[in-house]
Structure 1
Amino acid sequence: MKIKGAEVLLKCMMEQGVDTVFGYPGGAVLPIYDALYAAKGKITHISTSHEQGAAHAADGYARSTGKVGVVIATSGPGATNTVTAIATAYMDSVPIVVFTGQVARSLLGKDSFQEVNIKDITASITKKSCIVEKVEDLADTVREAFQIAVSGRPGPVVVDIPKDVQSAEVEYEPFRSKLSEIKEKKYFNLNEYGDSLNKAIDMINRSERPVIYSGGGTVTSGAQNELMELVEKIDSPITCSLMGIGAFPGNNEYYMGMVGMHGSRCSNYAVSNCDLLIAIGARFSDRVISKVSAFAPKARIIHIDIDPKEFGKNVDIDVAIKGDVKEVLQKINCKLEKADHRDWMEKIKQWKSEQCEPFKECKLSPKFIMDTLYNLTGGECIITTEVGQNQIWTAQYFKFLKPRTFVSSGGLGTMGFGLGASIGASMGNPGKKVNKCSRGWEL
């Protein structure tokens, strides 16, 4: 039986387990909204006041759940309103799929009302952007969009669908299984990377002053247990990037806080004095390394990441291992010797005790507020932030205990992110406390 393209879109979403979408209606997506209305009870639609807010909500949903966030926006200004949010997701490797409406195919290229080439506009800030030119291609394009969004290094995908494609009829064939269950093959191959793996293991076993630097890739991979095993096995302090917060418990004795411009004194001292830096799922951003020649000057560097483009991009490294963080750590952990770095850990404790404690004369300090929030929630909450000091104070002072509980714009630093993200996180985690930290005027 033939059904409309908009119905095909909804059925393909449900194939992927989508139960929540974020969007704002408009003329070029009315067929999709008709299909959504018919599917009520199966897919919940969250209507925002602006398309950028919808995309930020999908982003917050994805970051806090690990699932793909889905956005629906109309053509023209509706589509362009999502651009900043798409770039936000791209910079932080967040899987969202944005479905935009487009003018009918017969009106393309004629400066039609609310026509804009969103495919080309978003080409540099997505893993893929495309336009569906035939209704027969719609189902495969949607399925591929979800696959691309979650495979390898996650990121946003844009699918532009002309209005007449949404209304055209086509035979629909259900897919045999979810594409999310047929992700591209694992990058890690023991034979291919055996030399690098063995070299890394030898370097770790020989190290006397190791430091682990964990990034957002550890959160994405779900490697928190493997990370804990590594830390305890090699008796190493651990620091993180802004996006790596939550992968390791903030109340653990090995945890030093963030490193870099907004990092802790202890973390920066440790990185400056370590003899081995193990970077896991982290990119060496300018906010972390600052002056390249002065970054980890005494250390050899091991870099584990799923994206080989990060190797040597900002700092020189000694060993590169391309692969899924969780799987690579499993292979490494089983071959490591149990280490005892008590002298190094005593030095770490000394640096920790020398941490600066600002605003001591003022009880209502950022640290006091974050400590109070932690005590009230027991750390069992999700916190979203805006960008600026509210973000940094939250990252520095709140003791995040679990991954996917700190939701913030890191790479792009997008003001206005927090409110939409908090809505998305709330929808993705019913019953869980979601707190938004921002400056007063942003409320």
Structure 2
Amino acid sequence: MSRDANPSMRTGAQIMCEALIREGVSVMFGIPGGCIMPFYHAMYEYRSSLRHVLCRHEQGAGHAAEGYARATGQVGVCIGTSGPGATNLITPIADAWMDGTPLVAITGQVPSSLLGTDAFQETDITGITVPITKHNFLVSDPRELTRVFREAFHIARTGRPGPVLIDITKDAQLARLVPDWDVAMDLPGYHPASRKSAVLPTAIAEAVRLLQEAERPLILAGNGVIQGAATNELRALAEQTGIPVVTTLQGLGAMPHDHPLTLGMPGMHGWVHVNKAIQLCDVLLNVGTRFDDRVTGKASTFAPHAKVIHIDIDAAEIGKLVHTDVGIVSDCKPVLEAIASAMLAGSTATRTTTRTAWCDSIAAMRDKHQPRQAYARRERTAPLMPHDVFDAMNAAFRHRQDWRVVTDVGQHQMWAAQLLDWSRPRTHITSGGAGTMGFSLPAAMGAAIADPERTMWVVVGDGGFQMTACELATIAQEGLTNVKVAVINNGYPGMVRQWQQLFEGRRYSGTPLTGPDFAKLADAHGIRGMTVDSADDAPAAIAAAWAHDGCVVIDFRVEREANVFPMVPAGRAIGEMLVAE
């Protein structure tokens, strides 16, 4: 009897496909190559269950997987071959690491007999990615595949989500064996906090005591609230206690923008009244954000009068950058529920009068500083200012629910965060920690495939757009119709130019940027392209893009030297803000 007579016999590559299906994967983003070819050969048999999106660059594949994950909360999957295919995935892997995005990257590797010989397209990708993955695996024994895939997805989605890499030798993909699907995971050192983790009652009691006694409390809400599906609990606690809420860049949408307790975004480009409130508060409840330097400014001066309560699923973040008085390692949802319950039981101790006075004082600061004043039109500027575009987008979004916005990195990213009205979680997708130019277009593609009923608006600068514009071809090949691209085109990497203007005497070294006619570039891919250079034409262009049954690229040619304000200069406290040119 031949080996093929056993119906349970599989190649390693077939086992990889079946393992993905067992983990609930239905879409993957990648590019084939020599050492991952057996996997692609097997993939053809599973094409009714596994959709493969052929990207134009592995970086685009990784960002697309990130966008898919950010839109769904599920693990995104990207694929590359050995050598340059694998190394091209490093940027999205690092991006996922910084932003806590669940990602599994699968790479082919040279046959095990050639490992360590500097064979053609051999790269030690597991060694390279140690600092930017939660864990990685090199598989040369096909018997390990079922366990490794199970462990990889478990690690990627549990605790603080993040990227995991599986590197598989070509001979392991070609080997034939009967897979053991009942194999147990073997992760003796991995004990992540979860929604089911026990919350220490003493920590809850101390957090409640501080909040009840506070006269000027604040809640700082971040990505962990959205990742932990705790937005309802956050809002309930804020309303129950009257504590105002600050939302970080990655926390936008955790509280509706128009809620009376929502203050806005803090940090380097946060609003003046928000940063001043942080510097005046006496208790700061941090829910699911890691005190990034873009939030804190000079960390030693951050919230100098506050007792800090920090809830985070990652124990390593507590006390890492800002002194913490009460640290709680847990998913956000059960802690917010426990705090709300305890405060309700002891509500007589809540300082209702002083809370009202505190909120009134913040409102007075907001009215005084008029956060959008920096975007008032000035003489001798171009007919189209960046804020004209965002005003038009807001007007179009206001009465619709069928949209998400994916932003790139730079000035446009900050304008979008400041000026668009964020009301729902997972409607704002951006590269925060790594700050990856080129993120937005492929990430929006992944999100568009994950959520075909909503329109994905890409907000991108002309610099970032040119980094991954090749993925327009992928969008066209996949027949997507729900990606609309707004290029904020100012002829510079705008944020770099702004720093050069403000701090380097307008020495615009290496920043004047040319590019193609973006509308014609879109047309070349069979995608509708438009060019807008007047504020009067912006609303009609956005309406036309939304009405068009297909993808659209709009080239908004805006004022070249518009700046993002407010701004905290590097190394300064967040209370030291530049508010006008």
Length-normalised TM-score, structure 1: 0.95
- Indicate if the aligned counterparts of 2:193 and 2:329 stay in contact, CA closer than 8 A: no
Pick the aligned partner of 1:251 from 252, 255, 258.
258
Q: Which residue does the alignment assign to 1:329?
A: 336
Query: For 1:46, what is the secondary structure of its paired residue?
Result: strand
Counterpart code for 2:194: K
Equivalent residue runs for 1:202-281 within 5 Å:
202-281=209-288
Which residue is equivalent to 1:344? Answer: 358
Counterpart selection for 2:72 from 54, 65, 77: 65
> Matched residues in 2 for 1:441 and 1:112: separation?
36
1:186 is aligned to 2:206? no
Q: 2:416 aligns with which of 391, 394, 400?
A: 394
Identity of aligned residues (%): 40
Cα distance in structure 1, aligned partners of 2:56 and 2:340: 48
What amino acid is aligned across from residue 394 of structure 2 in structure 1? Answer: Y
Q: SS state of the match for residue 153, structure 2?
A: helix
State the partner residue of 1:116: 123
Q: Does 1:161 align with 2:168?
A: yes
In the other structure, the counterpart of 1:376 is: 396
Taking a change above 3 Å as real, the CA distance of residues 305 and 441 of structure 1, as seen in their structure-2 partners, is closer
Matched, 1:314 2:321: yes
Query: Counterpart of 2:74 in 1: which secondary structure?
Result: coil
Task: Pick closer, same or farther for the CA change 1:131–1:266 going to 2, 3 Å.
Answer: same
Alignment size in residue pairs = 439
- Equivalent residue number for residue 358 of structure 1: 374
The reply to whether residue 426 of structure 1 matches residue 434 of structure 2 is no
- Output the CA distance in 2 between the equivalents of 1:331 and 1:176: 37
Deviation for aligned residue 1:352: 2.1
Q: Deviations over 1:179-232 (max 9, x none)?
A: 9xxx96737655x62211100011111111111001111111010000001110
Flag structure 1 segments of 5+ consecutive residues without an equivalent: none
Query: CA 1:258 to 1:67, structure 2 compared with 1: closer, same or farther past 3 Å?
Result: same
Q: Could you tell me how far apart the structure 2 residues matched to 1:298 and 1:105 are? A: 58
Do residues 438 (structure 1) and 446 (structure 2) align?
no
Distance in 1 of aligned mates of 2:67 and 2:239:
31
Residues 39-78 of structure 1 mapped to structure 2, 5 A cutoff? 39-78=46-85
| Residue 195 of structure 1, aligned match among 199, 202, 209 | 202
- The one-letter code of the counterpart of 1:222 is A
Give the drift of 1:132. 0.6
Q: CA RMSD in A?
A: 2.0
Cα 1:177–1:239 change in 2 (3 A) is farther
Cα distance in structure 2, aligned partners of 1:237 and 1:217: 18
Counterpart among 397, 409, 412 of residue 431 in structure 2: 409
Query: Contact between 1:52 and 1:85, CA under 8 Å: does it hold in 2?
Result: yes
Whether the 8 Å CA contact 2:195–2:334 is kept in 1: the answer is no
Q: How far, CA to CA, are the matches of 2:454 and 2:148 in structure 1?
A: 34
Counterpart amino acid of residue 342 in structure 1: T
SS at match of 1:335: helix
The SS at the match of 1:195 is: helix
Contact 2:158–2:194 (8 Å) recurs in 1 = no
Q: Name the structure 2 match of 1:84.
A: 91
| Secondary structure at the counterpart of residue 458 of structure 2 | strand
CA contact (8 A) 1:237 1:348 kept: no
CA distance in 1, matches of 2:416, 2:60: 22
> Structure 1, residues 76-130: CA drift from partner, whole Å, max 9, x if none?
0000000011001001111100000001111111110000110100011000011
The amino acid across from 2:376 in the alignment is K
Preserved contact between residue 188 and residue 328 of structure 1 (Cα < 8 Å): no
| 8 Å Cα contact 1:22-1:70 kept in structure 2 | yes
**Structure 2 gap segments, 5+ residues each:** 1-7, 466-581
Change (3 A) 1:93 1:108: same
Distance in 2 between residues matched to 1:342 and 1:187, nearest whole Å = 33
Output one character per residue of 1:367-402: Cα deviation in whole Å (capped at 9) or x when no partner.
Answer: 332232122123631111111101111111111111
1:178, distance to aligned residue in structure 2 (A): 12
Return the alpha-carbon distance in structure 2 between the equivalents of residues 296 and 121 of structure 1. Answer: 37
State the one-letter code of the partner of 1:7.
Q
Q: In structure 2, how many angstroms separate the alpha carbons of the residues matched to 1:359 and 1:217?
A: 31
TM-score normalised by L of structure 2: 0.73
Cα distance in 1 for residues equivalent to 2:149 and 2:109? 16
Cα offset, 1:173, TM superposition: 3.9
Task: Give the structure, 1 or 2, with the largest relative contact order (CA under 8 Å, sep 6 or more).
Answer: 1
